[in-house]
Structure 1
């Protein structure tokens, strides 16, 4: 089984488990059948133009907006299957192999166990609590059954959320069990390094497809620039672009991975932006304590208030110089 540990920024990573195979119809349990039925129904509703007041399309629209708010960590853990007795036995006997694939130039191997442990254990208590509260709240949705035409949407939402939390909780327990048995085996991937480097060197997917594959020297230089932009680990810097998710998914022939990456990148980008805006607000509130005509922000060292957008631009500009064979000029600028 392959697990992918994909750094989204220098501080946050997504875990994704490769689906080994689709279950045969005869092997599907009631949860598998219910999941497939729900997915089919949702897709049908998205295209239904005949429903009264167009309620099906409205439900799926707002439902999809709500799904975007589910943390990417939960989505990632949900891709890890539950730890069955058969899998547990195979792990203990060493007959089933597990490996974690990651871009070695953008995520140091010694940090991998720590990140996996955090992903496995940090949210377990929360998922357990949410399952309980979702089940407790279900009876209170009974009055919604009296609404004609439209089904009891609050009830089905609670059912979905309890199932989602259970899937994430099961995945986290599986991952924790692997770590307790010194699995999975770390496996740095040059293919991932290539895609990550191309994502930082080129501005979009089209150019990245047409451009030559990055060399090892280029990858090392771009990863070094990223480290520099973190200000000795004080800043959280994006290392993965949203459009790059499709290229990673294509590289490993895992189409379902694309949406997981895009969702994670969007959430991390918004989180970094929100944090930056909060700092701006706090600095402006301190205006009264600053010198006349200046804000508290003006009194801080420039390196502490440098916008994250400028950091990203700097990475792209330097990476473009590298791609054009101007690596020496970049080094001269760094020395200045």
Structure 2
């Protein structure tokens, strides 16, 4: 399955890294799989599964349950306790770094990435920045995952109180979120790294511009599979130049780029 990644500067040296909002049939099916404990147990008890696959199944099941619980809080009437919990959750979620959101969007179903960026940028630099965010993300989220899991038993002691154990559920969510960001980092690094079995190249953009000659040096000819494709975009370059003021992209520019390239405006704005 192919995913489109959009990369462009937003403020000075700060770049935005975002995935187009286009969930695939595979991801939709995965999100709805094993909705009951019975289905989960049947899958786990299968002799063909490895321990790593069983861990993934458990995490997917817990993720689906958390998403359903969050949806219930979101639909709670105004002024109720559940509605206040939802507001607290939004405040905590707003503190999550945009790079974590981006890395979580690189799911295990992704097998190829199409990297769209302004045509004025150097393709090698774009791919190098992607490798950097993947490498750094793997280190950070591995540490944060172990820290969150370590604190879970301590926060569970608060269950004796007559109030919802918010610290426990927050640490549980952070454990899941860091695990997904870690796996997304590893997947992205695998996809954008030089591989002896991949034929990687720049492709012409929609306006018919020619591939950059410097990127043609990265081709590997012993396979027809391309794990990553650089896609310089003249449209993205024009939108960026139209709304950029001294390398700072304004709100209207972010909104227009997000609309044209199917990005989440809130997530992109956080990169500033």
TM-score with structure 2 setting the length: 0.68
Matches of 1:20 and 1:251, distance apart in 2: 19
Matches of 2:158 and 2:270, distance apart in 1: 31
Task: Indicate the RMSD between aligned Cα atoms, in angstroms.
Answer: 2.6
Give 1:56's aligned residue: 82
Indicate yes or no: 2:259 matched with 1:259.
Answer: no
Q: Mark the CA change 1:122 to 1:42 in structure 2 (over 3 Å): closer, same or farther.
A: same
Q: In the TM superposition, what are the counterparts of 1:1-336 in structure 2 within 5 Å? A: 1=2, 2-18=4-20, 19-21=23-25, 22-24=27-29, 25-26=32-33, 29-49=57-77, 54-82=80-108, 97-105=112-120, 107-148=121-162, 150-178=163-191, 179-181=193-195, 183-200=227-244, 229=246, 237-238=247-248, 240-252=249-261, 254=262, 257-264=264-271, 268=272
Structure 2 regions of 5+ residues with no counterpart? Answer: 36-56, 201-226
Q: Which has the higher helix share?
A: 1
TM-superposed CA distance for 1:136, in Å, is 0.7
Matches of 2:65 and 2:34, distance apart in 1: 16
Q: Mark the CA change 1:97 to 1:127 in structure 2 (over 3 Å): closer, same or farther.
A: closer
Matches of 2:34 and 2:113, distance apart in 1: 23
Matches of 1:194 and 1:40, distance apart in 2: 41
Q: Does the aligned pair in 1 maintain the 2:145–2:175 contact within 8 Å?
A: yes
> Cα deviation per residue 1:259-279 (whole Å; 9 max; x = unaligned)?
321232xxx2xxxxxxxxxxx
Flag the structure with more relative contact order, 1 or 2, with Cα contacts below 8 A and sequence separation at least 6. Answer: 2
Q: Mark the CA change 1:12 to 1:129 in structure 2 (over 3 Å): closer, same or farther.
A: same
Q: Which has the higher strand share?
A: 2
Deviating above 4 A after TM superposition, structure 1's stretches of 4 or more consecutive aligned residues are: 26-30
For these two proteins, the number of residue pairs brought into alignment is 213
- Aligned partner of residue 14 in structure 1, secondary structure: strand
TM-score with structure 1 setting the length: 0.56
